[in-house]
Amino acid sequence: MKHSTPLLALALALAATQAQAQTIYPLTKAEILSGSKFDFKVEFPGAPAASAVKVTINGKDPAQVLGGSVKFTEKEDGLGHSAYIIRDAMLKAPGQYVVEASMGDKKSSVKWEVFNPTQRKAKNVILFVGDGLSVAHRTAARILSKGISEGKYAGELAMDDMPAMALVSTSGTDSVVTDSANAMSAYATGHKTCVNALGVYCASNKNTLEHPKVETIAEIVKRKRQMAVGVITNTEIEDATPAGMVAHTRRRADFNDIVKMYFDTQPDVMMGGGSPNFLPNSTNGSKRTDNVDYLKKFQDAGYNLVTTSTELKSAQGNAKTTKLLGLFNTGNVDGVLDRKFLKKGTVDKFPDQPDLTDQVRASLDILSKNKNGFVLMVESGRVDKYAHSLDAERSIYDTIMLDNSIKIAKDFANKNKDTLIIVVGDHAHPVSIIGTYDDERPGTTPREKLGTYADAKFPNYPAPDADGYPNKVDVSRRLAFIFGSYPDYCTDAKPYMDGENVPAIAGATAGTFVANEKYCGKPGAVRITGNLPTDANSGVHAADDVVLTAMGPGSEKFRGRIDNTRVFRYMAEALGLGGK
Amino acid sequence: MLTRRLLIGLLLSTLPRFALAQSRAEERAQLSFDSLYKSFGIRGLEFSERVSGLKGRPIVIFGYMAPPLKPESNFFVLTKEPMAICPFCQSDADWPLDIVVVYLKKASPLVSAGQRVKVMGRLDVGSWTDPESGFVSQIRITDCDYAKV
């Protein structure tokens, strides 16, 4: 009772603030590329009539400034607000814009900056996204693939050996910690959004596809410059990072809609896993809810469809191939540790999956046929997925694969010096290298096997093969690559030789997860109490900044600390995407 | 849809009589998750000859009960491995392709998720959308009993 008065006052104050604020999209501090499309929306709480509200941009009528026409909807989607929308808006003149939305005496305003880069410095852009790529991934990949003795490395990673470097902050509009959808959306559109969203601001709409959209770099370069676009990944092609190049949805899980969005944008080269969402629901194994055959639709639109590494190489060698759709797995393409060494995962079902390096080589051959240049997004996506499953070795091997792919792109760029290459994580994982697990140490449990400081010495992986991979991961002194967030799980601090780690499984109480007993009985295994809420089944992302390295024309812009939206801006500036 | 439902209804209502006769005459065949599909490819799935041959017949299969939607139901999803994710609970989680949907004889309390179970019932194959839940399945076991193992 004692506390009720201040609490009530606080609640009323909060309610009053919420009731007052009309929300304007794009949100304040947006940096908008001149001539790019976006949806302008104002939501007025309390569902006022059109006559009760006023919206201006630099004091003028928005329809005049933005082009297009206003649609005003009272009680949009039956909710308690009115919506003022101009779809496909565009701003051409560079400079500062002040947007004001008022309802009686309640006023809110946002500021936008329109930038208009017209001088093109780069013909092509290649954006490498290591999903979840954190500093420890780079360090571990360097140790394993280059070797280290007396504290010095025997070589440089391709991703480290670049002239420009920046720290990139990844937080979204709703949370300090983001996901791959929101993070890729920032790289692809230059606008931050919220967790789970792609190419839209998160407004109140009930329909996930009707939130205010912002144009992606793939759409912009195709529409304005007739450039070629490539989207390649080793995850499902519908997954957040690749989808970010073409998708506009509040919900990244809208895989079937995302396939349609790929078809609408038609990137010239698309590769990954995730074929079931391309199959009509009359086909066994389809995950579509309609009977549309997207494999056929893409083929009818001139795409060469390939499903194995052998078919990919053959299509690459065919001078006529200008459009390619590669689908190599029903789910994610297996990581390199499974494909090349352990033969686990789905390698028995899909024995001829390409390596990311094969995908990059083929993409460069095909995309460089377009004289207007290209934008290629390459994702090594399982760096993140294996970090979620607390599977250090698989995550590190896919980082090495990313580096091998970057090497190929650098060789391509070095020929004509007209390609901007960017390498960046989309968000971090809480990962660190804290020493080595040494089987020679006494005892059986992970903490007894852990050597720290001088006791860590150096790991004893065999020398890497020609592709930079040690051919053995279960060595007697291996990196202690540890995870800062975890559910309940059991571990013996050894690599997962029988397949990807599954740390936790569904528990007896709905929505909770418990340690996977499969690992609890192994010699030396210990049971770890999770530090995450019980609804977490795996590790989570971190808000730490990620490292970006870059080379080529336009790369000099990357320095210091930048917001993730600046990756889009500097790509747009390098390509001179302003104006018409 | 109505025709399809009607057909399945008819099938279900007529099957038990044959079932009794058949189960006396033959052993209940055992199916394993590894033998469900002949090909498991980019362009779709092809059932194994064993699965096609056992269509409509009584079978037994072992697997794991996926996290159920509610504590008591006539319906659950059987998976090869214990599920690390709950596709019913998470918007961005997905089912593996090789699941089997189990329809029980009557709504029963379900055991906790991750429990290995033995399922006995009648095999039905082919893409089918559950009219109540909208859940699409390729392989179903109907008229089922199950037991913890």
The enclosing domain of A23 has a CATH number of 2.60.40.10
Mutate to test the interface with A, among B78, B80, B92 (most CBs of A within 10 A): B92
Higher confidence at residue B5 or residue A522? Answer: A522
* Of residues B44, B46, B112, nearest to A286 (C-beta): B44
CA distances to A261, A270, A364, A370, B18 from A367, in Å: 20, 11, 5, 6, 61
Q: Are residues A213 and A74 in the same domain?
A: no
* Of residues A284, A329, A537, nearest to B84 (C-beta): A537
Residue A422 lies inside a defined structural domain of this protein = yes
* Of residues A251, A282, A502, nearest to B91 (C-beta): A251
CATH of the domain at A202: 3.40.720.10
Sorted by where each begins, the domain ranges of chain B are: 2-148
pLDDT in tens, A335-350: 999 999 999 999 999 9
Q: Are residues A96 and A179 in the same domain?
A: no
Number of domains in chain A: 2
pLDDT surpasses 80 at A16: no
> Is there a contact between B43 and A349 if contact means CB atoms under 8 Å apart?
no
| Nearest-angstrom CA–CA distance, B13 and A277 | 34
Collapsing DSSP to helix, strand or coil, A507 comes out as: coil
Please report residues of A whose CB lies closer than 8 A to that of B86: 506, 510-511, 537
- A513 has a chain B CB within 8 A of its CB: yes
pLDDT in tens, A99-133: 999 999 999 999 999 999 999 999 999 999 999 99
pLDDT in tens, A145-188: 999 999 999 999 999 999 999 999 999 999 999 999 999 999 99
> Is there a contact between B44 and A281 if contact means CB atoms under 8 Å apart?
no
| Nearest-angstrom CA–CA distance, A375 and A335 | 25
pLDDT surpasses 70 at B105: yes
Mutate to test the interface with A, among B33, B38, B40, B42 (most CBs of A within 10 A): B42
Residue A1 lies inside a defined structural domain of this protein = no
> Is there a contact between A282 and B68 if contact means CB atoms under 8 Å apart?
no
Residue A478 lies inside a defined structural domain of this protein = no
pLDDT surpasses 50 at A578: yes
pLDDT-based confidence at A317, cuts 50/70/90?
A: very high
Q: Which CATH number fits domain B2-148: 2.40.50.140, 3.40.50.10540, 2.60.40.1120, 1.10.1200.120?
A: 2.40.50.140
* Of residues B42, B91, B127, nearest to A282 (C-beta): B127
Output the CA angle B93-B94-B99, nearest 5 degrees.
140
> Is there a contact between B45 and A284 if contact means CB atoms under 8 Å apart?
yes
> Is there a contact between A506 and B45 if contact means CB atoms under 8 Å apart?
no
* Of residues B47, B84, B89, nearest to A505 (C-beta): B84
Higher confidence at residue A321 or residue B16? Answer: A321
Q: Domain ends where: A93, A115, A137?
A: A115
> Is there a contact between B114 and A275 if contact means CB atoms under 8 Å apart?
no
Q: Are residues A91 and A136 in the same domain?
A: no
Averaged pLDDT for residues A60-81: 97
Q: Are residues A185 and A59 in the same domain?
A: no
Q: Domain ends where: A92, A115, A138?
A: A115
Residue B93 has a pLDDT of 59
Residue A264 has a pLDDT of 98
| Nearest-angstrom CA–CA distance, A534 and B30 | 36
Mutate to test the interface with B, among A249, A330, A512 (most CBs of B within 10 A): A330
A305 touches A294 (CB < 8 A): no
Residue A340 burial (C-beta neighbours within 10 Å; 0-12, 13-18, 19+):
middle
Averaged pLDDT for residues A136-152: 98
Tell which residue, A7, A124, A19, has the closest CA to residue A575: A124
Q: Are residues A181 and A323 in the same domain?
A: yes
Q: Are residues A107 and A132 in the same domain?
A: no
Distance from the B63 Cα atom to the nearest Cα atom in chain A, whole angstroms? 14
Q: Are residues A95 and A172 in the same domain?
A: no
Distance from the B144 Cα atom to the nearest Cα atom in chain A, whole angstroms? 22
Q: Which residue range forms the structural domain that includes residue A67?
A: 19-115
> Is there a contact between A196 and B91 if contact means CB atoms under 8 Å apart?
yes
Q: Are residues A299 and A379 in the same domain?
A: yes
User: Which two three-digit tokens encode residue A95?
Assistant: 């400079």
Q: How far is CA A270 from the centre of its chain?
A: 16
Residue A354 lies inside a defined structural domain of this protein = yes
pLDDT in tens, A191-250: 999 999 999 999 999 999 999 999 999 999 999 999 999 999 999 999 999 999 999 999
> Is there a contact between A283 and B127 if contact means CB atoms under 8 Å apart?
yes
> Is there a contact between B113 and A349 if contact means CB atoms under 8 Å apart?
no
Please report residues of A whose CB lies closer than 8 A to that of B42: 275, 307, 327-330
> E strands, A418-533, where?
419-425, 431-438, 450-451, 477-483, 489-491, 504-506, 513-515, 526-528
Residue A140 lies inside a defined structural domain of this protein = yes
pLDDT surpasses 50 at A12: no
Please report residues of B whose CB lies closer than 8 A to that of A330: 40-42, 97
Residue A197 lies inside a defined structural domain of this protein = yes
| Nearest-angstrom CA–CA distance, A494 and A362 | 36
Residue A67 lies inside a defined structural domain of this protein = yes
Residue B148 has a pLDDT of 87
Percent of chain A at pLDDT above 70? 97
Please report residues of B whose CB lies closer than 8 A to that of A279: 43-44
| Nearest-angstrom CA–CA distance, A146 and A156 | 7
Please report residues of A whose CB lies closer than 8 A to that of B44: 279, 283-286
Please report residues of B whose CB lies closer than 8 A to that of A488: none
pLDDT-based confidence at B15, cuts 50/70/90?
A: very low
Residue A273 DSSP one-character state: E
Mutate to test the interface with B, among A178, A182, A259, A284 (most CBs of B within 10 A): A284
| Nearest-angstrom CA–CA distance, A82 and A73 | 5
pLDDT in tens, B49-100: 999 999 999 999 999 988 776 777 888 889 888 877 666 655 555 777 788 9
Distance from the A287 Cα atom to the nearest Cα atom in chain B, whole angstroms? 8
Percent of chain A at pLDDT above 90? 93
- B63 has a chain A CB within 8 A of its CB: no
Q: Domain ends where: A76, A94, A115?
A: A115
Q: CB-based contacts of B119: which residues, under 8 Å, 6+ apart?
A: B60, B61, B62, B63, B78, B100, B102, B141, B144, B145, B146
Q: Are residues A46 and A72 in the same domain?
A: yes
Longest dimension (CA), chain B: 46
Q: Are residues A321 and A177 in the same domain?
A: yes
> Is there a contact between B127 and A281 if contact means CB atoms under 8 Å apart?
yes
| Nearest-angstrom CA–CA distance, A502 and B92 | 17
- B127 has a chain A CB within 8 A of its CB: yes
Distance from the B21 Cα atom to the nearest Cα atom in chain A, whole angstroms? 31
Higher confidence at residue A7 or residue A51? Answer: A51
B64-69, long-range: CB < 8 A, 24+ apart: B64/B113, B64/B114, B64/B115, B64/B116, B64/B117, B65/B110, B65/B111, B65/B112, B65/B113, B65/B114, B65/B115, B65/B117, B66/A506, B66/B95, B66/B99, B66/B113, B67/A506, B67/A510, B67/A511, B67/B113, B68/A510, B68/B110, B68/B113
- A512 has a chain B CB within 8 A of its CB: no
Q: Are residues A353 and A222 in the same domain?
A: yes
Q: ipTM value of the model?
A: 0.79
Q: In what order do the strands lie in the sheet with A71-73?
A: A23-25, A37-45, A81-90, A71-73
pLDDT in tens, B107-127: 887 776 677 899 999 999 987
pLDDT surpasses 60 at A435: yes
- B91 has a chain A CB within 8 A of its CB: yes
* Of residues B43, B46, B94, nearest to A295 (C-beta): B43
Residue A296 lies inside a defined structural domain of this protein = yes
Q: Are residues A405 and A426 in the same domain?
A: yes
Q: Is the peptide bond before A464 cis (omega within 30 degrees of 0)?
A: no
pLDDT surpasses 50 at A55: yes
> Is there a contact between A510 and B68 if contact means CB atoms under 8 Å apart?
yes
- A252 has a chain B CB within 8 A of its CB: yes
